[in-house]
């Protein structure tokens, strides 16, 4: 297991703050105290003072305007932005603040009440600038540098930084290879100057035993071995403002959730960022789903210069040029590059691995190879974590974390080439020897684990599996020997849908008809493709074709899906390979 502490790891008693171990911009001194607004930190005689974030917000607001009357409404807006609270909450925080400040040996009263109006900070303040800041350089040098910049992630990094100002737990969720660890590390670097006690980065990818999580965290924080590591971690963090990044939590989600909930309860100034393929589902969790890199829409045909404005294209070109300096994106090859990135769904790891194969195969042949097993066999960086050395390794990692029923459901829905509905899944599950009951919980679980994508329009929810995941799941399905049985059941369902749709053409208004059957268009097309193939069912194909032809008078109406007999294509089980 690789784990490292970013920033200082010593306790306050071991290293007094004789000088600022961080930027002193905006810091003020009053009495025995030094207030660092940017770091949200109050020191007394160089040691951190335990004070809640609301009370600190009030102190920062008042210390910025010493001697001025701050109305109660203004202070409430400062400490509880966009939240309606009673004045008693303000009084409670002022009491807590006064209690801390009254511990000054001089007995000076720093905050004066103006009855019926508000409060005034009456201490003499002066700007504080550290004479030297050698610890700044040391802290920055201890942060692992990003070897590659995270393209297209500026907006999410800004949003995460803002969330951690107001929420103490944020979970960054997404499929394997989407770039969660890269974004988390980039955020740790970005916030290093704002966290007076540093950022602790812990990789949990090799931990599958819940009991090992506190030990890993204690080790990362530089704490001595203990029989009760979680207690040691809590005591260490109770008076520290620090960001913990717990990376790759999916192997031990239950244990991680318990540790995180304990830290949130007993370390009031500690912020936590987790990365995982599914949420922790613990109290106080804010979920940020990391999306694929942006691509040109299917209707867009940008030239080379315009295409480089899309992060997925920029990443692909950058990685190709890293292994072939002569490569340039031009108007002649931009369509092939866009095609490749679309086939890879904008997933950064997939794009990076495929880009290294351009010099060997060329753009056009590579795009064709991505439709087959070569896609999963491509290998990435030699030094990458084992789970990221190939697309197959990444998907093996995800598949192994699934329960047997989830694995069976993933294999089953791989039959669908494109979007599919819950009704279609129910038709496949009916009578299945492995799966029984309502499939919705398993489908939603696969969505949570970032293996399926959920879409919703005005009236209907439907699903889709990313291409790499589908190719992998089809392989697993083939190994069970049940592919042909499922394909036939899938085609039978499509036939039933087409017959019912044709029977209701005149009975249902166009918009309602679209809502009922539009989401089944991909199912019908792929069933037609299989039924008319050499491996298909010719009689079922003929019946399906004749039923689909009954939709002919309506197929050109924009409010309804276009259903046509497909040209000769590969069987359904090989589509999108």
Write the CATH number for 78.
1.10.10.10
d(CA 242, CA 536): 61
Q: Given a cut of 90, is residue 273 above it in pLDDT?
A: yes
Last residue of a domain, one of 335, 367, 393: 393
**226-270, pLDDT tens digit by residue?**
888 999 899 888 878 889 999 999 888 999 999 999 999 888 888
Q: Given a cut of 90, is residue 124 above it in pLDDT?
A: no
Q: How far is CA 408 from CA 392, 435, 476, in A?
A: 18, 7, 9
According to the model, what pLDDT value does residue 3 have? 38
Are 380 and 309 found together in one domain? yes
This prediction has a pTM of: 0.66
| Strand partners of residue 286 | 170
1 located within any domain: no
183: nearest Cα among 193, 173, 194, 197: 173
52: nearest Cα among 64, 40, 63: 40
Contact 276, 243 (CB under 8 A): no
13 located within any domain: no
d(CA 526, CA 523): 5
485 located within any domain: yes
Are 254 and 143 found together in one domain? yes
Q: What b/e string do you get for 236-246 counting C-beta neighbours within 10 Å, with b at 16 or more?
A: bbebbbbbbbb
Which H helix or E strand runs over 288?
Answer: strand 285-289
Q: What is the CATH number of the domain that holds 228?
A: 3.40.50.300
Name the 3-class secondary structure at 493.
helix
Model confidence band, residue 160 (pLDDT cutoffs 50, 70, 90): very high
Structure tokens at 343: 């086939």
Are 165 and 243 found together in one domain? yes
Beta strand 3-6 pairing with 199-203: antiparallel
> Looking at the chain, how many residues does it have?
577
Work out how many domains the chain is built from and give that number: 4
18 located within any domain: no
Name the more confident of 165 and 575: 165
506 located within any domain: yes
Name the 3-class secondary structure at 335.
helix
Q: Given a cut of 50, is residue 571 above it in pLDDT?
A: no
Contact 347, 333 (CB under 8 A): no
According to the model, what pLDDT value does residue 305 have? 93
Q: Sign of the C-alpha dihedral, residues 351, 314, 290, 259?
A: positive
Q: What is the mean pLDDT of residues 106-127?
A: 85
**438-496, pLDDT tens digit by residue?**
899 999 999 998 899 888 876 678 899 988 899 999 999 999 888 888 888 888 888 88
Are 116 and 216 found together in one domain? no
Q: What is the mean pLDDT of residues 38-56?
A: 79
According to the model, what pLDDT value does residue 555 have? 44
10 located within any domain: no
Q: Given a cut of 70, is residue 352 above it in pLDDT?
A: yes
Q: Given a cut of 60, is residue 565 above it in pLDDT?
A: no
Name the more confident of 384 and 415: 415
Model confidence band, residue 504 (pLDDT cutoffs 50, 70, 90): low
Range of the domain at 387: 304-393
DSSP category for residue 490: H
Q: Given a cut of 60, is residue 543 above it in pLDDT?
A: yes
- In the block, tokens 């001595």 appear at 224
Name the 3-class secondary structure at 62.
helix
According to the model, what pLDDT value does residue 225 have? 81
Structure tokens at 572: 């359904």
Q: Which range among 108-122, 359-373, 542-556 shows the weakest confidence by mean pLDDT? A: 542-556
Model confidence band, residue 569 (pLDDT cutoffs 50, 70, 90): very low
Are 447 and 363 found together in one domain? no
**Average of per-residue pLDDT values in the chain:** 80
d(CA 80, CA 89): 10
Are 331 and 471 found together in one domain? no
Name the 3-class secondary structure at 336.
helix
According to the model, what pLDDT value does residue 482 have? 86
Are 444 and 343 found together in one domain? no
According to the model, what pLDDT value does residue 199 have? 86
383 located within any domain: yes
Are 64 and 109 found together in one domain? yes
Name the more confident of 339 and 99: 339
Q: Given a cut of 60, is residue 563 above it in pLDDT?
A: no
According to the model, what pLDDT value does residue 205 have? 84
Q: What percent of the chain has pLDDT over 90?
A: 31
338: nearest Cα among 370, 312, 360, 299: 312
Are 415 and 518 found together in one domain? yes
Last residue of a domain, one of 127, 150, 178: 127
**372-397, pLDDT tens digit by residue?**
878 887 776 766 666 667 778 888 88
CA atoms within 13 Å, Cβ hemisphere of 464: 15
Query: 3-state SS of 502-536?
Result: HHCCCCCCHHHHHHHHHHHHHHHHHHHHHHCCCCC
| DSSP-assigned letters across all residues of 415-474 | T-SS-EEHHHHHHHHTT-SS--S-SHHHHHHHHHTTSSEEEE-SS-EEEE--HHHHHHHH
459 located within any domain: yes
Are 170 and 226 found together in one domain? yes
How are strands ordered across the β-sheet holding 420-421?
A: 420-421, 461-464, 453-456
Are 114 and 38 found together in one domain? yes
Are 180 and 277 found together in one domain? yes
213: nearest Cα among 263, 168, 173: 263
Last residue of a domain, one of 96, 127, 158: 127
Structure tokens at 37: 């607004």
- Which residues touch 347 (CB under 8 Å, ≥6 apart)? 175, 177, 178, 292, 293, 466, 468
Beta strand 199-203 pairing with 41-44: unpaired
């Amino acid at each position: 297991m690789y784990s490292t502490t970013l920033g200082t790891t010593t306790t306050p008693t071991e290293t007094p703050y004789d000088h600022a171990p961080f930027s002193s911009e905006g810091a003020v001194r009053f009495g025995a105290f030094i207030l660092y607004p940017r770091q949200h930190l109050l020191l007394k005689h160089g040691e951190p003072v335990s004070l809640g974030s609301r009370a600190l917000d009030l102190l920062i607001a008042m210390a910025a305007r010493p001697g001025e009357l701050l109305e109660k409404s203004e202070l409430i807006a400062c400490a509880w932005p966009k939240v309606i609270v009673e004045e008693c909450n303000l009084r409670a925080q002022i009491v807590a603040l006064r209690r801390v400040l009254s511990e000054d040996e001089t007995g000076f009263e720093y905050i004066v009440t103006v009855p019926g109006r508000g409060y005034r900070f009456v201490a003499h303040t002066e700007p504080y600038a550290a004479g030297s800041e050698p610890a700044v350089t040391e802290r920055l040098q201890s942060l692992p540098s990003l070897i590659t910049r995270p393209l297209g992630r500026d907006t999410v990094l800004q949003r995460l930084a803002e969330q951690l100002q107001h929420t103490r737990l944020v979970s960054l969720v997404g499929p394997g290879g989407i770039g969660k660890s890269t974004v988390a590390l980039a955020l740790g670097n970005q916030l290093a100057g704002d966290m007076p006690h540093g950022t602790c980065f812990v990789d949990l990818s090799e931990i599958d035993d819940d009991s090992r999580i506190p030990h890993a965290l204690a080790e990362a924080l530089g704490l001595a071995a203990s029989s009760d590591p979680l207690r040691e971690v809590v005591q260490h963090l109770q008076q520290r403002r620090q960001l913990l990044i717990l990376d790759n939590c999916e192997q031990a989600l239950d244990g991680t959730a318990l540790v995180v909930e304990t830290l949130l309860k007993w370390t009031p100034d500690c912020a936590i960022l987790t990365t995982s393929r599914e949420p922790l589902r613990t109290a106080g969790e804010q979920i940020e789903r990391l999306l694929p890199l942006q691509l040109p829409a299917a209707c867009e045909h940008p030239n080379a210069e315009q295409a480089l404005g899309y992060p997925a294209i920029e990443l692909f070109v950058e990685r190709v040029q890293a292994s072939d300096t002569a490569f340039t994106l031009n108007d002649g090859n931009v369509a092939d590059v866009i095609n490749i990135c679309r086939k890879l769904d904008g997933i950064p790891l997939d794009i990076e691995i495929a880009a290294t194969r351009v010099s060997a195969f060329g753009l056009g042949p590579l795009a064709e190879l991505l439709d087959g097993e070569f896609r999963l066999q491509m290998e990435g960086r030699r030094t990458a974590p084992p789970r990221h050395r190939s697309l197959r390794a990444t998907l093996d990692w995800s598949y192994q974390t699934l329960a047997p029923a989830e694995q069976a459901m993933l294999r089953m829905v791989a039959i669908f080439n494109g979007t599919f509905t819950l009704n279609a899944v129910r038709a496949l599950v009916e009578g299945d020897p492995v799966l029984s009951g309502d499939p919705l919980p398993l489908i939603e679980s696969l969505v949570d684990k970032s293996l399926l994508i959920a879409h919703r329009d005005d009236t209907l929810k439907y699903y889709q599996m990313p291409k790499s995941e589908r190719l992998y799941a089809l392989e697993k399905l083939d190994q069970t020997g049940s592919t042909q049985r499922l394909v036939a059941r899938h085609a039978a369902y499509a036939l039933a849908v087409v017959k019912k749709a044709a029977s209701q053409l005149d009975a249902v208004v166009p918009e309602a008809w679209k809502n009922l059957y539009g989401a089944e268009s991909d199912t019908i097309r792929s069933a037609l493709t299989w039924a008319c193939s050499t491996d298909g069912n010719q009689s079922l194909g003929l019946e399906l074709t004749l039923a689909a032809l009954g939709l002919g008078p309506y197929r050109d109406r924009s409010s309804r899906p276009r259903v046509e007999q497909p040209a000769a294509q590969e069987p359904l089980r090989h589509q999108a390979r």
